[in-house]
Amino acid sequence: MSTPQRTLHLNAFLMSTGHHEASWRLPETDPYASSKIEHYKKLARTAERGKLDSIFFADSPVLFGEVGRRPAGKLEPTVLLTAIAGATERIGLIATASTTYNEPFNLARRFASIDWVSGGRAGWNVVTTAGPDAARNFGIEDQPAHAARYERAAEFIEVAQKLWDSWEDDAILADKSEGVWGDSTRIRTIDHEGKHFKVRGPLNVPRTPQGHPLIVQAGSSEDGKNLAARYAEAVFTAHQTLADAQAFYTDLKARTAAVGRDPESIKILPGIVPVIGSTEAEALELEQELDNLIKPEYARIQLAKTLRVDAEELPLDRQLPEDLPSEDEIEGAKSRYTLIVELARREQLTVRQLIGRLGGGRGHRTFTGTPEQVADAIQDWFYAGAADGFNIMPPVLPSGLESFVDHVVPILQARGLFRTEYTGRTLREHYGLERPANRYAGTAGPALTSIGSGF
C-alpha cells in the first residue's frame, strides 16, 4: 500500500497593509485598514478561496514601534476572529495571546468561545511577550526574566488544557423529558495548585469541537524550543538560510520525540515574504519601490531597540558595532536578536542595508520572483527537510495575498503539494492532527451543585 504524498500546510500571517513597513505608502493601500473589520474579512475570504489552512494575527499588549514609521494600533485579535468566523466557513483562525499578561481561566474561556463560534477552527499562538514597555502597562517596571516567562508559560498552558478538559464531551444531556440538562459527574474542578497559578475550575464553557484549540508557538530560543516540544502543534519560526532552517527543523523534531510525542504532531512553518511579479523584473521593481519608501530614521530607532543600543551607535552607512550584547544578555526576543545580528555579520551589511533587509519581514526570509520561482523556493525547503509548510507574509495587502492565492497556490496544487479542496472542517483536521482525548474521561467527578450562585 503506497503512502500518501506529504503535502504543505500554509498559513496567512495578516498585518494591516502588509508586512513591508512601507506598504501603507503605496497608492493602492488604505492607511486606515488596520481598524477596518471589512478589510480583514476580505483577506480571510481570499485565504479561504486559496484553501489555506489558517490565518493568523500577531499581537502584543503595547503600542509597537514608532507611529511615524508604519500603521500602529491593532484591534484585539480574539475579538477580530469572532467577526471573521461569521464571514468564513472553513479556514482556521489563530490569534496571539500572552501568558505573561493574562490569566489562564480568562484565556482558556476566550479561545474555547472562539472554537465554538467558528465550529472548531480556533488556534492560540502562545507568546511570553518581550520588552519593558509591555511590562509597564501592567504595573511592572521591567519585563520578567526570559526563563521565568517561559516557566510561567508552561504552567499556563497546562492549566488551560486542564480547563478545556473539565467538561467531558457528553456532559450535556439535554434530557427534556427528565428535566436534566447536564450530568454533574462529567464536569469537574481541576484544583490546580502550582508555582504561578491556583485555579479551581471548572471552565464555564463546554468542551469545544476540537477538544483543545490548536496550540501554536513562535519562540526559537532554547526555552522556546523546549516549550514547543512539549506543547506546540504548529510552530512559526524565522530563518534566512536553508541550513539554519534544516538545523532548527531537525532539532525541534528530535526534542518533540524526546518528550514522548510523535514528531509528526508538530508542524514547523518558517515565515516567507513573497514579493511576486509576473516577471522577475516586475517583482524586483516592486521590491525596490517598497524599499525606497522606507524612512531610515524611524527604522534605525526600532533596530536600536531590538539590539539594545542607542540609535546614535548605529550610523546608517557603517556595519553594526562589534561590542553588541551577547544573546545571554538579552532578556527579550533572544532568537530574533541573534538572527538579525548573524544576518548583518554574515553578509557584511551596513545599517542602512540591514534596515532594507528587515523592512519586508523583520528577519523572516524575503523571496522576490515570479509565481513559479516562489513555488520553487517553497518546494525546495519543503523537500529539503526544512519545513512542513510556510507562514505566508504578504508584503502588501490585499494585493500580495491575492497574488499568492491566484498565482502561486495553483502551481503548488498542480504539483500535488497542496490541497485543491478542504477535506475537514476543523483547524486540527487541516493540520492533520488528532482531537485530543480528555484527561479526565472515565474518572469520578465531584457534584457541582454548589458552584456559582445562579443569580
Residue-wise pLDDT for 276-309, tens only, equals 999 999 999 998 898 888 877 777 777 777 777 8
- Report the C-alpha gap between 416 and 190 in whole angstroms: 45
Three-class SS state of 340: helix
Distances (CA, A) of 286 to 184, 276, 277, 289: 61, 8, 8, 5
Q: Do domains 9-279+363-430 and 295-358 have the same CATH topology?
A: no
* pLDDT at residue number 455: 44
User: What value, to the nearest 5°, has the Cα angle with vertex 184 and ends 179 and 115?
Assistant: 95
Give, in order, the Cα–Cα distances in Å from 65 to each of 123, 182, 220: 26, 49, 22
User: Strands 9-13, 192-193: parallel, antiparallel or unpaired by DSSP?
Assistant: unpaired
Cα-based torsion angle of the residue sequence 60, 231, 392, 34 in order, rounded to the nearest 10 degrees: -20
Q: Of 273, 274, 278, 286, give the one whose Cα is nearest residue 370.
A: 278
Average per-residue pLDDT for the chain: 90
pLDDT at 1: 40
- What confidence score (pLDDT) does residue 316 get? 80
What CATH number was assigned to the domain covering residues 295-358?
1.10.1200
What type of residue sits at position 417? L
pTM reported for the whole predicted model: 0.88
Residue found by looking up cell 486542564 in the block: 162
Cell numbers at 240, concatenated:
534566512
DSSP string, 354-410: HHHHHTTTTTSEEEEE-HHHHHHHHHHHHHTTS-SEEEE--SSTTHHHHHIIIIIHH
CA distance 374 to 89: 28
3-class secondary-structure state, position 286? helix
- Residue 279 confidence (pLDDT): 97
> Cβ neighbours of residue 281 under 8 Å, at least 6 residues apart?
none
Domain boundaries, the chain: 9-279+363-430, 295-358
Q: Give the separation between CA 361 and CA 340, rounded to whole angstroms.
A: 11
In whole angstroms, give the CA distance from residue 371 to residue 403: 8
Q: Which residue numbers in the chain have pLDDT < 70? A: 1-4, 65, 326-336, 357, 359-363, 444-455
Burial class (CB in 10 A: 0-12, 13-18, 19+), 145: exposed
Helical axes 222-231 vs 242-258, angle rounded to 10°: 50
CATH superfamily of 9-279+363-430: Luciferase-like domain (3.20.20.30)
How far apart CA 345 and CA 165 sit, in angstroms, is 48
